[in-house]
Amino acid sequence: MRADRLVATLLLMQARGRVTARQLADELEISVATARRDLEALSAAGVPVYPQPGRGGGWSLLGDGRTDLSGFTASEARALFLLLGPRAGESASAASALRKVMRALPPTFRADAEAAADAVVVEAGGWGAPASTPGAVHALQLAVVERRLVGFSYAAWGREPVDRVVRPLGLVDKAGRWYLVADTDRGLRSYRVDRMTDVEAREDRFEPPAGFDLDAAWTTLAAEIEQTRARTTATVLVDPAVEDEFRGWVGQTEVMGVADDGRAIVRVAGQTDLVLARRLAAWGARTEVVDPPAVRRLLATLGAALTSRYGDTDASSGADDASGYAPGDA
């Protein structure tokens, strides 16, 4: 959802008091379904927007907020800026609108609203498939804004869960996968929220490190994550007809040049040789691993195992020749 559109929705409701999804759609030149989703998003975030069914009904901004943003409560202001703040960078008009809303808030609420606006970073491009938003995200957002210690159990990949208590500094939405950035006794750390259980905000409060900037901290942590995810690499020749699809499916790729036969020379990174071999096995004759020998041997082993299991499959089944198969062909 766009931040500028949600701000426009809110300001339009202030001006009119009550609107229908159809009126909102016509005013903002969006679909009725989109208008309804925006209204529901504002309501779910804690902004006092409520539907009124029946003839002459619609959606209303209740309370003093109908005519003056200073009528917002502290929790409503936090909810609004948690929802819009990370997305204000999508356009200059959205950022300008958000600043005007900020100035309209009572001074006692402004600090919390500013903290909420800086509590989340939204980043395009992900590591792996996007995940649904974990239920702990809302509780963590509030802990960030209120600067409360957070306790949770965390299961890193391939390890047993460990209880931790950290100072939450911000959240990152990386293409649908959420990460908590936290201050610990060992320095800044990031935690995947979908691997956290028993999340609980403590009564104890803390002060963030002087000059802390969430964007800068995430840039540093993300680079460290990339390094841990790229412990080994393979050089692969890729059929140019599937190059874009290959890079999108496999991920962590870098084009190094073009071979004499026209195939793209692509470097693929992964955690282990076996992980790389498994990711590359599906591409059949569309790719050729040049290096390292370990990945070539693993591919041969995987191919032999598949041939042993499926080699006697009835050829009349209608399946195409797998030698040219690529995942997107299915």
CB 200 within 8 A of CB 136: no
Rounded Cα gap, residues 305 and 299, in angstroms: 10
Which residues are CB-contacts of 153 (< 8 A; sequence separation ≥ 6)?
161, 162, 163, 164, 196, 197, 198
pLDDT tens-place values along the chain, 330 residues long: 455 566 677 767 776 778 888 888 888 788 888 888 888 877 776 677 888 776 777 888 765 444 345 455 555 555 555 555 554 444 455 455 555 555 555 454 455 555 545 555 545 445 554 455 567 887 888 888 788 999 999 987 667 889 999 999 888 877 678 889 999 998 999 998 989 999 999 999 998 888 888 888 888 888 777 666 657 889 999 999 999 889 888 877 889 999 999 999 999 988 788 988 998 998 988 999 999 999 999 999 999 998 888 877 665 454 445 455 556 554
178, 194 contact by CB (below 8 A): yes
Instruction: State residue 248's pLDDT score.
Output: 82
pTM score: 0.45
Phi, psi at 15, each rounded to 5°: -70, -35
Residue closest to 267 by CA, chosen among 276, 225, 303 = 276
Q: How many Cβ atoms sit within 10 Å of the Cβ of residue 85?
A: 24
Report the C-alpha gap between 310 and 245 in whole angstroms. Answer: 26
Domains and CATH numbers, the chain: 3-74+94-104 (1.10.10.10), 123-227 (2.30.30.520), 232-310 (3.30.70)
198-209 residues labelled b (16+ CB within 10 A) or e (exposed): ebebeeeeeeee
pLDDT at 330: 46
Q: What SS3 class is residue 272?
A: coil
Query: Which residues, listed in sequence order, are joined to residue 237 by a DSSP beta bridge?
Result: 265, 288
Half-sphere exposure of 4 (CA within 13 A, CB side): 10
CA neighbor of 272 nearest in space, from 227, 229, 226: 229
What is the dihedral angle through the alpha carbons of 112, 175, 190, 220, rounded to the nearest 10 degrees?
Answer: -90
Q: Give the span between the Cα atoms of 301 and 299, in whole angstroms.
A: 5
- Give the pLDDT confidence score for residue 297 in this predicted structure: 94
- Asked if 206 contacts 151 with a C-beta cutoff of 8 angstroms, the reply is no
For residue 22, which amino acid is it? R
Alpha carbons 198 and 54: distance in angstroms, whole number: 42
How far is residue 225's CA from residue 81's CA, in Å, rounded to a whole number?
A: 28
